A and B are shown apart, each in its own frame.
Chain A
C-alpha cells in the first residue's frame, strides 16, 4: 500500500508569491491534515479535512488555506508569502480504526518551502 505522497518535495519562492502544495493520502484514508515544522515553533497543526470539509483549523493566518477533493487528495495554499513561511510542510492521513477510539496518523515526506 503506497504511503502518503507529497509534491513537490522542494521549492523556492519569492516573498509575495503564492504556493500550492499537494498531498495524496493513503488509499482508503479520508482524513487529511497539514502541519508546519520550523526550528523555532516546532510542529504545528494547520488544518484537517474530511470528506471535502474542513473540520479543524489551527492558529494560522488566513493566508494559509486548503481544500480536499472528492478522491481525498488535498492541497494547501499559502498566499503572499513571507520569509517566516519557510518551513517543512507535512501532510498526514488517517482512517478511523474501529478497534479503538483513535487514529494512527501517517505522515508524508513533506514539502520543503524556502521563501527568499
Chain B
C-alpha cells in the first residue's frame, strides 16, 4: 500500500513559472526522497532529506520537510519544458524499502 498522497495529482504551468508539489505520509520516517519519472522511463533521484532536516536545496529544487505534519514539498523554480514529468516522493522507515506516494504529473508549457 502507498504511504501517502501527493497533491496536486496534475499540474500545468507556463515555462518560467515555479511548480510546487506536496507530499503527505502516514508514519514516522527516516528519510524522504524525491524522484522524477519521464514517461515510460525509470526513476531519477532528485534529492534526499533526512528526518532531522527541514529544508534542502539542489540547483532549482527546494525541498522542505515538516515531520510534525508528516508532509513535504518540492519546489521547482524557473521551470523548463524539460521538467515535464511525474514526480514522486518516497519514504523509508527501515533502510532499503521505499514507500511511494501516488505522484504528481507536471506539464510545463513552452
Contacts and interface: CB of A to CB of B under 8 A. Distances in A.
B48 A102 contact: yes
Contacts of B98: 33, 35, 43, 45, 92, 105
Question: What is the interface residue range for chain A against chain B?
Answer: 20 to 34
A42 B31 contact: no
Interface of A: 4, 6, 31, 33, 35, 42-45, 48, 50, 55-56, 58-59, 88, 90, 92, 94, 96, 100-110, 112
Interface in B44-91: 44-45, 48, 50, 88, 90
Contacts of A31: 96
A4 B98 CA distance: 17
Contacts of B92: 102-103
A90 B95 contact: no
Nearest to B92: A102
A73 B96 CA distance: 16
A110 B37 CA distance: 11
